[in-house]
């Protein structure tokens, strides 16, 4: 029923189940649908022309807002902790302390750089941040059909917002749940607000902030992620009838294929587009 699902880069554990969920969602229509999506490497590209694209944290790298010393330190953190984040041989429990360390150190380094809020928009413009191909249609379609989009990100919320503003897709149906910088009376960052969100505590974040999710009060959820830590992003939603989880498998594809196929309903391998989510959304919202 959806041509894009027949592509070689699309893997499904149980095609019949996927079809059934999509059919249920189509029958209920867009007024019962909400989308919960991760941001970095899910709505943004993993790579372009063979080069890695920056995460919201790493957008600061290409900017003049942080010192060379800080850039080197942040790169060092990435080189050390990213392999742990995606290591198939380690359990989530084993990874959590490393993630807490990574985020704590990264946020401390950022705070030391005395970045001003009014400098962020330009830094994002100058960076190589790229949304996936088809992302504008994705945001526009959700807005036109009044489907709420909750972006749930362990990245930096202030930078994330600038990225979607820059691409002219920060529509009124979009809400962001992320790590936000706290600025002093001079507009200079001096801390990060609230509880830190890292790759593997999104479930706790969702459960502790049920009110954020309750506002949506829709029974069908389309979930998009790229990490196994994104699977529980909808745990704060009450009374879910149908949930379809779509996972981008960007890196270490052969090693991680099996666990992704076991965890996500649809796995998209090395796919830098939103063609599959867009085709599913079109089917559900257009009632075709
Ligand atoms: P996400 O939840 O929007 O995907 O954001 C989390 C990603 O951010 C995660 O995959 C690791 C990445 N990250 C960096 O690239 N640099 C950093 O300094 C930190 C703390 C995280
Ligand atoms: Mg991600």
Segments making up each domain of the chain, as ranges: 3-47+131-285, 49-126
CB 103 near ligand 1, within 6 Å: yes
**pLDDT level of residue 288 (50, 70, 90 thresholds):** very low
β-strands 266-269, 242-249: how paired?
parallel
Residue 54, C-beta contacts closer than 8 angstroms, at least 6 positions apart: 61, 62, 127, 128, 129
The mean predicted confidence, pLDDT, of the chain is: 94
CA distances from 35 to 141, 222, 242 (A): 12, 5, 12
Residues with CB under 5 A from ligand 2 (ion): 38, 40-42, 226
From 62-76, 181-195, 200-214, 269-283, the region with the lowest mean pLDDT: 200-214
The topology (CATH level 3) of 3-47+131-285 is Rossmann fold (3.40.50)
| Closest-lying ligand 1 atom to the alpha carbon of residue 54 | 15
Which is the catalytic residue, given 14, 19, 38, 184? 38
CB 232 near ligand 1, within 6 Å: no
| Closest-lying ligand 1 atom to the alpha carbon of residue 160 | 3
Residue 179, C-beta contacts closer than 8 angstroms, at least 6 positions apart: 103, 107, 153, 154, 155, 156, 157, 192, 193, 194, 196, 197
- Expressed in angstroms and rounded, the spacing between residue 93 Cα and the centre of ligand 2 is 18
The residue contributing the CA closest to ligand 1 atom 20 is 103
Q: Mind listing the pLDDT tens digit for each residue in 146-162?
A: 999 999 999 999 999 99
CB 77 near ligand 1, within 6 Å: yes
- Expressed in angstroms and rounded, the spacing between residue 164 Cα and the centre of ligand 1 is 17
- Ligand approaching nearest to the C-alpha of 225: 2
Q: What is the pLDDT of residue 259?
A: 97
- Active-site residue 40, yes or no? yes
Nearest-angstrom CA–CA distance, 154 and 177: 9
- Across the range 265-277, mean pLDDT stands at 98
**SS3 at position 157:** helix
CB 55 near ligand 1, within 6 Å: yes
**pLDDT level of residue 287 (50, 70, 90 thresholds):** low
- Across the range 252-258, mean pLDDT stands at 96
- Expressed in angstroms and rounded, the spacing between residue 195 Cα and the centre of ligand 1 is 16
Residue 212 has pLDDT above 80, yes or no: no
Share of the chain above pLDDT 90, in %: 88
- Could you name the CATH architecture of 49-126? Orthogonal Bundle (1.10)
Q: What is the pLDDT of residue 148?
A: 95
């Amino acid at each position: 029923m959806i041509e894009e699902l027949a592509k070689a880069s699309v893997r499904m554990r149980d095609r019949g189940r996927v079809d059934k969920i999509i059919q249920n969602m189509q029958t209920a229509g867009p007024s019962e649908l909400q989308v919960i999506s991760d941001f970095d490497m899910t709505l943004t590209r993993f790579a372009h022309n063979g080069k890695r694209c920056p995460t919201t944290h790493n957008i600061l790298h290409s900017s003049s807002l942080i010192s060379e010393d800080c850039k080197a330190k942040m790169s060092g953190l990435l080189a050390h902790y990213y392999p742990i984040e995606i290591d198939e041989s380690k359990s989530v429990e084993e990874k959590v302390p490393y993630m807490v360390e990574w985020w704590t150190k990264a946020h401390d380094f950022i705070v030391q750089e005395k970045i001003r809020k009014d400098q962020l928009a330009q830094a994002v413009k100058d960076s190589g941040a790229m949304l996936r191909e088809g992302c504008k249609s994705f945001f526009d379609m959700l807005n036109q059909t009044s489907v709420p989009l909750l972006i749930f990100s362990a990245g930096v919320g202030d930078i994330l917002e600038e990225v979607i503003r820059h691409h002219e897709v920060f529509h009124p149906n979009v809400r962001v749940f992320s790590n936000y910088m706290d600025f002093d009376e001079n507009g200079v960052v001096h801390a990060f607000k609230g509880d830190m969100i890292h790759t593997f505590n999104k479930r706790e974040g969702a459960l502790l902030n049920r009110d954020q999710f309750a506002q949506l009060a829709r029974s069908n959820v389309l979930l998009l992620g790229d990490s196994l830590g994104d699977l529980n992003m909808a745990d704060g939603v009450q009374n879910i009838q149908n949930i379809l989880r779509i996972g981008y498998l960007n890196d270490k594809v052969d090693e991680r294929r099996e666990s992704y196929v076991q965890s996500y309903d649809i796995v998209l391998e090395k796919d830098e587009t939103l063609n599959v989510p867009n085709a599913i959304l079109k089917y559900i919202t257009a009632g075709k």
